[in-house]
């Protein structure tokens, strides 16, 4: 069932984290080869309760509590995927994913190429990511660019409950590894009517959240909401913003990015990761290479800063918020 046809189905009002849980439940029910694994995902139901109740429903052979060893979690999952299972491995926080980096980039991402197609790696690595929840050190990273840079990986980041369920289902069914990053700042920020039935939202397709004619604003994850808020505020000033939620960073939906920029001639990129080496630079470069002659102003980037993610008192100053986004849009439009 595609997301478009699913809109006539029965729905329930879910938060984003509830939609993740619903997506996992649906895939475990649909395919006996799907297993969920990670630290505290079973009896405790996950640190954010994204797997709550799954072990009672599917048993401890399919919802597996693992040791506190991220390299072991992902390494085991790679082997399981190579031999026919579809593991969904949870890393409790993105800041804990680095011990597993070798397994992800040296093995999961390369298995199909290394074996010349004899093996694939249908593996999903879930991780809550990003700041804004007053967490300790190593709990607020937004380092998605590490994984976008690695060929062989898909990188998906939902910003709504409906997309979270549909994109997670698509990731589980994908024949290759997907790093599925969940913006924990909006885990419980709002609710949305989500179809009860199983459906997929295709990876690699951006969503235009707001159509406009004056400037294209590209964003993803938790930054979609402050970007939309800024766009609505600026409408009162006569600035008509188009907001594009990229949803998947690898593969990047270049067609939608370029189509939007051709229409507006101006662009702003908003992401919470540090500016240097961030995906914003890749988006700007793609626009320069492909549609330079449509450009009417420098493309602005509104990002986190090139510093370690700060603790509580400075967290709100680090994250892009509507005022910073509006200033960048005004500068671009008024250039």
Mean pLDDT of the region 259-264:
98
Kind plus residue range of the DSSP H or E element containing 282: helix 279-291
Which pair of tokens denotes residue 149?
């840079």
- Give the alpha-carbon dihedral of 131, 234, 191, 311, to 10 degrees: 10
Task: Output the average pLDDT for the chain.
Answer: 96
Q: Is the pLDDT of residue 42 over 50?
A: yes
Structural contact between residues 180 and 171, judged by C-beta atoms closer than 8 angstroms: yes
User: CA-CA distance, 139 to 129, in Å (whole number)?
Assistant: 8
Mean pLDDT of the region 206-217:
98
Is residue 139 among the annotated active site residues?
yes
User: CA-CA distance, 218 to 224, in Å (whole number)?
Assistant: 9
Structural contact between residues 119 and 163, judged by C-beta atoms closer than 8 angstroms: no
Mean pLDDT of the region 270-297:
97
DSSP readout, 122-183? --EEEEEE-S-S---TTSS---HHHHHTSTT-EEE---SHHHHHHHHHHHHH-SS-EEEEEE
> What are 166-188's pLDDT values in tens digits?
999 999 999 999 999 999 999 99
pLDDT of residue 5: 41
> What are 304-333's pLDDT values in tens digits?
999 999 988 899 899 999 999 999 999 999
pLDDT of residue 8: 57
pTM: 0.95
| pLDDT band per the 50, 70, 90 thresholds, residue 138 | confident
pLDDT above 70 as % of the chain: 98
pLDDT of residue 6: 45
Q: Is the pLDDT of residue 2 over 60?
A: no
User: CA-CA distance, 150 to 186, in Å (whole number)?
Assistant: 27
| pLDDT band per the 50, 70, 90 thresholds, residue 9 | confident
User: CA-CA distance, 253 to 261, in Å (whole number)?
Assistant: 13
Choose, from 107, 138, 139, 271, the residue flagged as catalytic: 139
pLDDT of residue 311: 86
- Spatial CA neighbour of 321 closest among 208, 209, 237, 219: 219
User: CA-CA distance, 164 to 210, in Å (whole number)?
Assistant: 19
């Amino acid at each position: 069932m595609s997301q478009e046809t699913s809109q006539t189905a029965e729905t329930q009002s879910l938060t984003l984290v509830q939609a993740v849980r619903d997506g996992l439940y649906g895939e475990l029910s649909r395919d006996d080869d799907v297993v969920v694994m990670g630290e505290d995902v079973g009896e405790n139901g996950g640190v954010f309760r994204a797997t709550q109740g799954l072990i009672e429903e599917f048993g401890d052979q399919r919802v597996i509590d693992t040791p506190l060893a991220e390299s072991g979690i992902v390494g085991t999952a790679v082997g399981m995927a190579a031999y026919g299972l579809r593991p969904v491995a949870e890393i409790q926080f993105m800041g804990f994913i680095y011990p597993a980096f070798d397994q992800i980039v040296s093995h999961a991402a390369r298995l199909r190429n290394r074996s010349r197609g004899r093996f694939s790696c249908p593996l999903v690595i879930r991780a809550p990511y990003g700041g804004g929840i007053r967490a300790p050190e190593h709990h607020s990273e937004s380092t998605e660019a590490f994984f976008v840079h690695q060929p062989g990986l898909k990188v998906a980041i939902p910003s709504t409950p409906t997309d979270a369920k549909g994109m997670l289902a698509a990731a589980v069914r994908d024949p290759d590894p997907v790093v599925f990053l969940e913006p924990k700042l909006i885990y419980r920020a709002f609710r949305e009517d989500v179809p009860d039935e199983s459906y997929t939202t295709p990876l690699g397709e951006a969503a235009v959240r707001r159509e406009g004619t004056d400037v294209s604003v590209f964003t993803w994850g938790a930054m979609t909401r402050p970007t939309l808020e800024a766009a609505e505020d600026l409408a009162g000033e006569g600035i008509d913003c188009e907001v594009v939620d990229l949803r998947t960073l690898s593969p990047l939906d270049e067609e939608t990015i370029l189509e939007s920029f051709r229409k507006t001639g101006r662009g702003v990129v908003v992401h919470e990761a540090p500016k240097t080496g961030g995906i914003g630079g890749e988006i700007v470069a793609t626009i320069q290479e492909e549609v330079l002659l449509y450009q009417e102003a420098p493309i602005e980037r509104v990002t986190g800063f090139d510093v370690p993610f700060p603790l509580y008192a400075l967290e709100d100053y680090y994250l892009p918020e509507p005022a910073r986004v509006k200033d960048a849009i005004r500068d671009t439009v008024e250039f």
